[in-house]
Amino acid sequence: MSDYDFDLFVIGAGSGGVRASRVAAGHGAKVAVAEEYRVGGTCVIRGCVPKKLLVYGAHFAEDLKDARRFGWNVPDCGFEWPTLRDNVLAEVDRLEGLYKNTLDSHQVELIPERAAITGPHSVHLASGREVTAKHILIATGAWPVVPEIEGAEHGITSNEMFHLEACPRRLAIVGGGYIANEFAGIFHQFGSQVTLVNRSSTLLRGYDESVRDRLMQISMGKGIQFRFNAQLDKIEKMDDGTLCVHFKDGDPIPCDVVLFAAGRRPHTDGLGLENAGVEVNEKGAIKVDDHSRTSCESIYAVGDVTDRLQLTPVAIREGHAFADTVFGGNPRTVDYDCVPSAVFSDPPLAGVGLTEAQAKNKLGTVKVYTSDFRPMKNVLAGREERALYKMVVDATTDRVVGLHMIGPDAPEILQAAAIAVKAGLTKQQFDDTVALHPSMAEELVLLK
């Protein structure tokens, strides 16, 4: 018999925590997972899954207009936000049920309570129950940052965007990252007047400059407004219930909803990390080694709470590698090189590997190939919107070190192309591949 209640106790039932729990249990471990809110975490409940469904819904705005150019007698259509909202939330409920079934089928005990660490092998539950475990895994994710300004309580975060009572007539979005740009594209298509407010002059820091600039150009052409180098002062609630965003300099912005989308912070507050000597960095992220072990030998952490790469597939890999290492007798680490990422903006963009600037700094001499074109569908639809594909090549070895794209279905195309970049294929090998015509993806093997 073990000296502990569980072999593994997981705090947080998001993507990383659920995967770690399931795999550890498959290796024969006795596992429990505590979740204070809902099973599925940010991605399933209040992040990428419901947001992608909103993206699909938003696409119909332009698709219905374009259909007329393709011969369809489409009448003027009205949009009903409550219908989409409720259908999306119902799908979230369904997915949460599947996640719960996964835990149940692997004999993982689900404890719907908040948990806090009281020692290297002990956890205190909100009900007052004290639980012991040989190993503890922290997978509590990250949480939206809310600025410390007067009237901040009048704003909302991405968590609440999926539950709005009505589609806002005027939406102010604070931030310049992927969440800000995605919601800007979504609600613009739903008919909102969208203003994106950014404290710097740069959107989507970390993505290639060419695709960032193209997104802003297209967004402005669609009617999305931008306010750069804007320092928030306060948010004022007016007598009629609307809001007014004030800045240190510049005119205020009247709106109906203010969305804070200026970053996410590792969710470590109140976890009791100090009780086990678990160290965090200056951002509050848990410090871990290559095997996700913290400064306390019996405690591990995976996912956004470590702030390595805040991506769901990365959290899943980290959780799986942890379980294999600790319980499966198969020590594994996660390879963070060439991880593809996407922004489901309007249009979407995606990238993998080094940007042009990064490649020049790291490699010195690079070759850059681009294709700037108007997709066939846009041509017939009468849309001027252009796609941009960019390939960054090491001039010495001819190896493709980066691919960056903006245009319809860019993430779908890049997922397959990322395999080639990860495998270290050369520009010549791309050139040697016969094009699949007519397609947008064929531009990748025709770059000159």
pLDDT digits (tens, 9 = 90+) for 157-190: 999 999 999 999 999 999 999 999 999 999 999 9
Query: What does the block give as tokens for 111?
Result: 């404890």
Q: Are residues 109 and 188 in the same domain?
A: no
Q: How many domains does the chain have?
A: 3
Mean pLDDT along residues 112-138: 97
Q: Is 177 annotated as a binding residue?
A: yes
Mean pLDDT along residues 238-260: 96
pLDDT at 68: 96
Is 337 a domain residue?
no
Go through 225-241 and write b for each residue having 16 or more CB atoms within 10 A of its CB, e for each that does not.
Answer: ebbeebebbebeeeeee
Q: Are residues 46 and 181 in the same domain?
A: no
End position of a domain, from candidates 327, 356, 379: 327
Q: How far is CA 356 from CA 227, 288, 426, in A?
A: 27, 30, 16
Q: What is the pLDDT of residues 392-415, one digit of tens each?
A: 999 999 999 999 999 999 999 999
Q: What is the pLDDT of residues 37-63, one digit of tens each?
A: 999 999 999 999 999 999 999 999 999
Owning domain of residue 366: 347-445
Mean pLDDT for all residues in the chain: 96
Q: What is the pLDDT of residues 63-105, one digit of tens each?
A: 999 999 999 999 999 999 999 999 999 999 999 999 999 999 9
Mean pLDDT along residues 10-24: 97
Q: In this structure, are residues 403 and 391 in contact, taking their beta carbons and an 8 Å threshold?
A: yes
Q: Are residues 273 and 254 in the same domain?
A: no
Q: Is 346 annotated as a binding residue?
A: no
Q: Are residues 257 and 270 in the same domain?
A: no
Q: Are residues 27 and 127 in the same domain?
A: yes
pLDDT at 1: 57
Q: What is the pLDDT of residues 255-283, one digit of tens each?
A: 999 999 999 999 999 999 999 999 999 99
Q: Is 178 annotated as a binding residue?
A: yes
Is 341 a domain residue?
no
Q: Is 56 annotated as a binding residue?
A: no
- The CATH number given to whatever domain includes residue 72 is 3.50.50.60
Q: Are residues 189 and 248 in the same domain?
A: yes
CA 155, distance to chain mean position in Å, is 21
Mean pLDDT along residues 417-439: 97
End position of a domain, from candidates 232, 261, 290: 261
Which of 407, 349, 351, 413 has the alpha carbon at shortest distance from 378? 407
Phi-psi region of 303 (alpha: psi -120 to 50; beta: other; left: phi over 0): left
**Predicted confidence band at 115 (pLDDT cuts at 50, 70, 90)?**
very high
DSSP string of 118-140? EETTEEEETTS-EEEEEEEEE--
End position of a domain, from candidates 220, 239, 261: 261
Q: Are residues 26 and 116 in the same domain?
A: yes
Q: Which residues are catalytic?
A: 437
Residues in the chain: 448
pLDDT at 307: 85
pLDDT at 2: 74
Q: Are residues 27 and 123 in the same domain?
A: yes
Q: What is the pLDDT of residues 328-342, one digit of tens each?
A: 999 999 999 999 999
Which of 343, 316, 292, 349 has the alpha carbon at shortest distance from 42? 316
Q: Are residues 140 and 14 in the same domain?
A: yes
Is 87 a domain residue?
yes
Neighbours of 135 (CB within 10 A): 24
Q: Is 176 annotated as a binding residue?
A: yes
Q: Are residues 233 and 302 in the same domain?
A: no
